[in-house]
């Protein structure tokens, strides 16, 4: 008898909110409206119901931005440990439904590397998420390289999640429109610009040459970079620029997720540039609807094998969950 096993649907950029981390921000209500905070803080019945209604088997939980990237080093270390310990407790209650990415205290780079190891080796988390700039600094700077060294040693990915751009960029590029179109600073444009630049800098910095087995995840179908790979590679191959192949380096080290970008043309571009094995399903809950994401992903015009890879197979292999 043919006993076909149901394909697990694994969503890997699904957020939550730790109250102690969030309490560190005086403008938490501005960062996140109350109705979103309530959903983010729910790690029980309502979250599971929304997962069940949409057909999501597993959520990989990660702290919503800005997490611990914008606070002082000592507070970041303490809060990250507390948040990761509590996240483990949540996962232990429903290990068949939840996995998690660690929160890292990047303002203290060496401590962040140690916390990554503790979170993976002792708490069983699947890697870590970094939310944008660390107090205005890019993660490719050499002071942060111990984090990448440890990620390679542990064989776990680092998820580079966007955040608002540097204040100087906000003032120069968006100030005239920020009041009228507040989301322009976020997912409509600012997030993508910030995350894409961070990813480009990672390739150019040499950190991926120093640690050649590092794996990086970008959300939102790669923050626009798969569409631009040929042009970036072509221009940087001119004399006096990048010594290697930007395109090859990107496709070797980066994975992309579908979070909050349910576009068939964009997905096709990612598949053509990077291959289906490097695309993972994500929703970006609660900022985007579970049902919208699952319905789209289950009906993409790929063969059944490729749909299964995107919906859960690739995450199972990459995160070992």
Q: What positions carry a catalytic annotation?
A: 284
Residue 182: CB atoms within 10 Å? 11
The backbone torsions φ and ψ at residue 255, rounded to the nearest 5 degrees and listed phi first, read -120, 155
Angle among Cα 42, 48, 50 to the nearest 5 degrees reads 95
Q: How far apart are the first and last CA of the chain?
A: 27
How large is the greatest C-alpha to C-alpha distance in the chain, in angstroms?
65
**Beta carbons of 242 and 204 less than 8 angstroms apart:** yes
Helix axes 190-205, 246-253, angle to 10 degrees: 110
Burial class (CB in 10 A: 0-12, 13-18, 19+), 55: middle
Q: Which residues contact 113 (CB under 8 A, 6 or more apart)?
A: 146, 147, 149, 150
Which of 26, 65, 18 is CA-nearest to residue 191? Answer: 65
Count Cα atoms within 13 angstroms, Cβ side, for 201.
17
């Amino acid at each position: 008898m043919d006993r076909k096993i149901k394909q697990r649907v694994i969503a890997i950029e699904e957020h939550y909110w730790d109250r102690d981390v969030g309490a560190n921000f005086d403008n938490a209500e501005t960062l996140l409206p109350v109705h979103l905070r309530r959903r983010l803080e729910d790690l029980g019945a309502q979250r599971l119901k929304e997962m069940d209604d949409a057909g999501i088997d597993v959520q990989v939980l990660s702290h919503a931005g800005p997490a611990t990237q914008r606070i002082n080093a000592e507070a970041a270390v303490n809060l990250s440990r507390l948040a990761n310990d509590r996240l483990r407790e949540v996962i232990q209650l429903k290990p068949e439904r939840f996995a998690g990415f660690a929160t890292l205290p990047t303002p203290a780079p060496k401590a962040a590397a140690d916390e990554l190891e503790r979170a993976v080796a002792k708490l069983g988390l699947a890697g870590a998420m970094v939310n944008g700039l660390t107090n205005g600094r890019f993660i490719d700077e050499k002071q942060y390289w111990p984090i990448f060294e440890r990620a390679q040693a542990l064989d776990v990915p680092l998820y580079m999640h966007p955040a608002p751009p540097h204040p100087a960029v906000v003032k120069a590029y968006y100030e005239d429109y920020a009041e009228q179109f507040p989301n322009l600073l976020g997912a409509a444009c600012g997030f993508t610009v910030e995350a894409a630049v961070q990813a480009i800098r990672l390739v150019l910095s040499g950190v991926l040459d120093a640690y050649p087995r590092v794996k990086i995840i970008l959300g939102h179908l790669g923050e626009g970079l798969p569409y631009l790979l040929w042009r970036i590679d072509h221009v940087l191959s001119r004399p006096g620029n990048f010594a290697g192949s930007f395109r090859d380096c990107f496709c070797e080290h980066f994975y992309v997720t579908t979070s909050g970008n349910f576009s068939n043309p964009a997905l096709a571009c990612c598949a053509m540039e990077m291959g289906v094995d490097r695309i993972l399903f994500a929703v970006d809950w609660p900022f985007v609807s579970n049902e919208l994401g699952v319905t789209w992903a289950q009906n993409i015009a790929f063969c059944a094998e490729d749909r299964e890879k995107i919906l859960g197979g690739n995450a199972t292999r990459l995160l070992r969950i």
